[in-house]
Structure formats: C-alpha cells, structure tokens
Structure 1
C-alpha cells in the first residue's frame, strides 16, 4: 500500500512540476509576445510611482494582459526599482518586455506636452504642443508672445509644473545677437539676465531648456556650437579665398545668410561676393546698410532711402570697399560653409527671380535683363494685390 501511495505522490509531483514549467513558459511568452494595445497611448509615470501602480494603469488602458506577469517580469529582470518619472509613448502592440524598457530606461519624456520658444528674425513666439499618440505628431494647443504684457494663456500656465512638460529653444538662422538676448531675458523659465553678445558668435539651432537654468548657460552653448562650426569650416576652406581669418568668414557668412533663405543657392550667392571681393568691386548689399541703421535691434520696417544708400558708414557696402567691420547676424552652418567653400562661378550679380530665389548673372547686361523681369513680376503682383 505504501508503495502505491509513494508511486502516486511521485506521479503527482512530476505532473505538478510539468504544470509549473508550463505556467512559467506561458508567462514568459505572455511577457515577450506582442501586447493587446490597439493604438498607441501616453503613459504617465508620477514621481515616486511604483511598479504596481504602473502595471495597474497599463492594465486599465488595455496595454497588458496581466499586471502580475508584468511585475514578475520586472522582478526577474531586476528592474523593479528602476522606474523613471515622466510621460512615455507606448506604441501599438508593445510587449510587456518592451514597455518595461520604456519606463525604466530614463531620458526625456517621449510623450505629453512640449513648449517651444522660437526666436525668429521678426518676432519671438511660443507654442504649447501636445503629442497625439495615435499619429505621433504634436498638435498646437496655444500660441503666444512670451515678451508681451498680456496675460500668459491658461494652456501654458497649466503645464508649467507638469513632470512631462519639455521645453525647447529654437533660434532661426539670421537672427541678431540682440534679438536672441532679448528673447532669453523674456523667458520666465530661465534664471538671470544676459547682455548682448558679439554679433555672429551664436549658433542658430534647437536647444533643450530646463526650467530654472541660467540664461547665460544657453548663450555659452550657442557660442561653443558656433565656434566648433566655424573652426571646422575654416579648416576645410577652399584655397585662394579673399578672406584672411575665420572672423572675416563669419562676416561674409552673415551677409550670405541675410541675402537668401534657400540653402541650395547659398554657395552661388557666396560666389558672387567672393568674385566681387577678388575683383575689387563693392559688395553693394542692402542687409549691411540696414544693419548699420538698426544695429541689429529689430527690423527696419521700411525700404531704404537714397540718402541711406549714399551715406558713408562702416556698414554701407555701396560706399565702402570690402567687408563691414562685424557680422550683421548669426549665420547658420550652411552659410558658414558657403562662405568658406563658395561655388566656382563667374557670377557678379544676382536679383530676386519671383520664386523666392535669385537669378544670377555674369555681365551687367544679363543682370539688367534679370532686373527688368523682376520689375515686371513686382508690378504684376502689385496689380493683383498679392
């Protein structure tokens, strides 16, 4: 009898072990296989959150089939204590294993609200944007001027303290140092004030912003970035340029920047100025004259007067030979590279062509024909009210 009992017990033990092994295999498959999420979601993990709370939220949103398996997987991977606060995009069909990696990996939030401060040539603008998980695109919910005396919009005030709100500063190519410094001094997320840096030494681009960071720290980042770009471009410059120093390259690049917003034609615009410098011609470019009037503090807002085009000032390239004494804006990488590696052309003239670009010419006759075409386009636009 005892032999039968022992035999049956062994049988049950073996069956139990097989069942347990089957459960483990099933659980592992559940953890690694694609999940049930039909559409991407934003998962918010609060500061001090727990794996139990996160697993409950995931189960409630239909992202996982079992909170228990999710937590066991986290324990097995030794990640239970690695939960990161933030708002994270969980893609459609993500497995529990993938989701665990998302909420423990750290780094910037990938979902939620983004506030973008844009420093443009004409204005400072802020945008509050929310990520739509379904399209993975940001949708604008508010737009305002941070420097305005008007009350800040509620959409901005309500997200300033949220853990998943990210901030970014975007500086447009061709902005002046005065415009950038004025913008930074107007942002309520930054601490401290900055003086106006030297013209041209700040790199346009996108910079992450942390609430409470020093405005001077952002200026330093832009200076370091521009210095690196300029050094690289100067080291790879073409031979026989009519400029002798990186500083002169920066001046030329700023003029190119203000003359065209089309990256593809910057080397051709650069070639016009290089050819003029090489032949002893005046640069004759309006943006330098305008800078001499405004000193980079905002836009002129009107056309140039004949008296201004004739005035003998350091920035009037209709009067002086060579380059003006300083840059007239902060040029981007494309303009700096064009200044140091211009296209090989015989162009010495260019004028707007009506498409946003320019028509280039080697001779005055060709240029006059291009100017006549542009005047006709201008007249047609004015008559049609464009």
Structure 2
C-alpha cells in the first residue's frame, strides 16, 4: 500500500511539474510576433490596460494569462509610456521587460537656424506622427535645434518645448552679455540677431556682422539689411525674385532702408550663435560689407573701401556670367 501511495504521489508531483512547465512555457516561450512591431503604451496606462491592448493587437494570446504570469514570473517594475519596438519572436516575458526597461523610440523634428515662424508652423503640421494643431509662433520665439518627440505627442507640446528652449537660452546668454552690446533688452537682442542670422550663413562671421550692425546703430546709420525689406512681404518665406525699387523705398515697421534703428521685431528665429554674437559683438570699426564671392563678406570702415569691394564683387559676378 505504501508503495502504491508513493507511486500515486510521485505521479501527482510529475503532473504538477508538467503543468508548471506548460504554464511557464506560456511565459518564456515565443509569442506570436513574426516581425518587429511598434507598440505604443499610452500615458498613464495600467498593466491591465496594456495587456488588453497587446491581446487586441494579437501580440499575445490572452490578456488574463499574460497578467497572471506577469504577477508570478515578472518584475514588479512599472511599465513606461511611449512607443517601443517588440522584436520578432519575443516571449511574453521579453515583451514585459521591453515595456518596463526598454528604450522608448524617439523621433525628431529639426528647426534650422534662420527658419521663420511661418515655416516652423508648416514643418510641425507636416510631421505626421504628431497630433493636434499648433498656432504660428511669435517670430523669434523658437530656438532652432533638433527636438525629439514621441508618437502621438501634440504639436502644441513640442512647440512649447521649442519656445521654452529659446526663453532659457536667452536668459543664459543675456546674463553673459558684454558691455559693448548696443541692445538694451533681450527682445532687442533677438531682433538684431535675426538680422545677423539672415545676413550671413558663415558662423565665423557672426560676431563681425554683429559688430558692424552695432556700429551702425551707435552712429545713427540705417542698417540697410535686405532681409528686412522682404519680411513684411512674405513673412520670412523666400521672395523668389529680385527686390523692387518700390519695396526698397517702402515705409513700414521692418524696412531698415527707410528707417533708422531696429525693426519692430525679429524677422526670423535666430540660433544661439547669432544671439551670442549680438550680445558679444566683435571689436571693429566696420560699417560696410558686401559679398566676397566665397559665401562670406568683405568688410570696410570707409565708403571708399566699400566701393572698391563692391567693384570687385561686380567684376566677379560679370566673370561668372551673372551680370
């Protein structure tokens, strides 16, 4: 009898072990993922809600089975919100580990230096994985940079990060400003920096261009920056043609060919480098500049020097067949 009882007990134990093995296999064995798959965990979602979502999307066989095994075999760490890649063949155990400890997929939108706000708005609206609407931001309120975002994040939230970055950068650089700067407020710094940004695409020239325009402001000279003619016409978009004489003579709050001093506001979103240049301009006596044919500019302190530089530029353009 004892032998028979022992055999029955052993059989029961083996059956239990087999059941446990089957139960564990449902956790550590391959899931129904044939390909790498993107999966989004909504902000604030519970493990129960995520299990239901995994089952609805056919990544696991049973939400209840997943939850039960997760409680027995899984880590107690919280799941993270965001978008994840569930790798092909991942087990339920691997899926849970990915949602708890894996890297959230980050996506990026880039705002180049000198991009006007109307184009910032268009770029945000054209980014398909963002949601909702966003207003056209105030000119000069966005810091050009590359920003990461998560699938489903709102455009308004991403725009706010861009504007917060500009506010933070401006506060930082304003505190480090030189006594040589001609601007008296952070907003004036952004306005003058927007002109510097548009007038040169050569980073090493920014301080020199800022020094030149600072000299013009001090001396009461017109800034005569071509981009300020274009801005009230296109709001910063390319003009697509030559500037007309009537536009050069136009009187408005931006055209620095018909007014002395700074325009009423920025004409684009300047980058950190342009703002820093305005707040720490080069020590120079230059008040004139003209393109030099290499992408940069030739600077001059006197009108005679400037006219000679202009003659060289025109000669180079004629040689290239541009005139």
- Taking structure 1 as the reference length, what is the TM-score of the superposition? 0.58
1:335 and 2:248 correspond: no
1:201 and 2:169 correspond: no
- Tell me how far apart the structure 2 counterparts of residues 290 and 316 of structure 1 sit (CA, whole Å): 8
Higher share in helix: 2
- Tell me how far apart the structure 2 counterparts of residues 182 and 225 of structure 1 sit (CA, whole Å): 19
1:229 to 1:46, Cα distance in 2 relative to 1, 3 A:
closer
Which secondary structure does the structure 1 equivalent of 2:178 belong to? coil
Counterparts of 1:174-185 in structure 2, within 5 Å, are 174-185=114-125
Higher share in strand: 1
Which of 364, 379, 385 does residue 303 from structure 2 map onto? 364
1:41-90 Cα distance to aligned partner (Å, 9 max, x none): xx96986xxxxxxxxxxxxxxxxxxxxxxxxxxxxxx99999995389xx
1:183 to 1:280, Cα distance in 2 relative to 1, 3 A:
same
Q: Tell me how far 1:189 sits from its aligned partner.
A: 1.2
For 2:184, the equivalent position in structure 1 comes to: 244
- Tell me how far apart the structure 1 counterparts of residues 235 and 275 of structure 2 sit (CA, whole Å): 21
1:350 and 2:281 correspond: no
For 1:262, the equivalent position in structure 2 comes to: 202
1:257-288 Cα distance to aligned partner (Å, 9 max, x none): 00011111100000000000011111001001
1:340-375 Cα distance to aligned partner (Å, 9 max, x none): 000111110111110011111111111111111111
- Tell me how far apart the structure 2 counterparts of residues 258 and 250 of structure 1 sit (CA, whole Å): 12
Higher relative contact order (CA 8 A, sep 6+): 2
- Tell me how far apart the structure 2 counterparts of residues 86 and 182 of structure 1 sit (CA, whole Å): 29
Q: Is the 8 A contact 2:116 2:235 kept in 1?
A: no
- Tell me how far apart the structure 2 counterparts of residues 195 and 267 of structure 1 sit (CA, whole Å): 33
1:280-322 Cα distance to aligned partner (Å, 9 max, x none): 11100100111021123x2111111111111111111011010
**Root-mean-square deviation over aligned CA pairs:** 2.8
Which of 249, 252, 261 does residue 313 from structure 1 map onto? 252
Counterparts of 1:1-386 in structure 2, within 5 Å, are 86=85, 106-108=102-104, 166-296=106-236, 298-382=237-321
1:132-153 Cα distance to aligned partner (Å, 9 max, x none): xxxxxxxxxxxxxxxxxxxxxx
Q: Is the 8 A contact 2:180 2:281 kept in 1?
A: no
- Tell me how far apart the structure 1 counterparts of residues 307 and 86 of structure 2 sit (CA, whole Å): 59
Q: Tell me how far 1:209 sits from its aligned partner.
A: 2.2
1:20-54 Cα distance to aligned partner (Å, 9 max, x none): xxxxxxxxxxxxxxxxxxxxxxx96986xxxxxxx
Which secondary structure does the structure 2 equivalent of 1:371 belong to? helix
- Tell me how far apart the structure 1 counterparts of residues 159 and 38 of structure 2 sit (CA, whole Å): 32
User: What is the number of equivalent residue pairs in this alignment?
Assistant: 244
Runs ≥4 in structure 1, deviation > 4 angstroms? Answer: 43-47, 78-85, 102-105
- Taking structure 2 as the reference length, what is the TM-score of the superposition? 0.69
Which secondary structure does the structure 2 equivalent of 1:200 belong to? coil
Segments of 5+ residues of structure 1 without an aligned counterpart are: 1-42, 48-77, 89-101, 110-165
Which secondary structure does the structure 2 equivalent of 1:382 belong to? coil
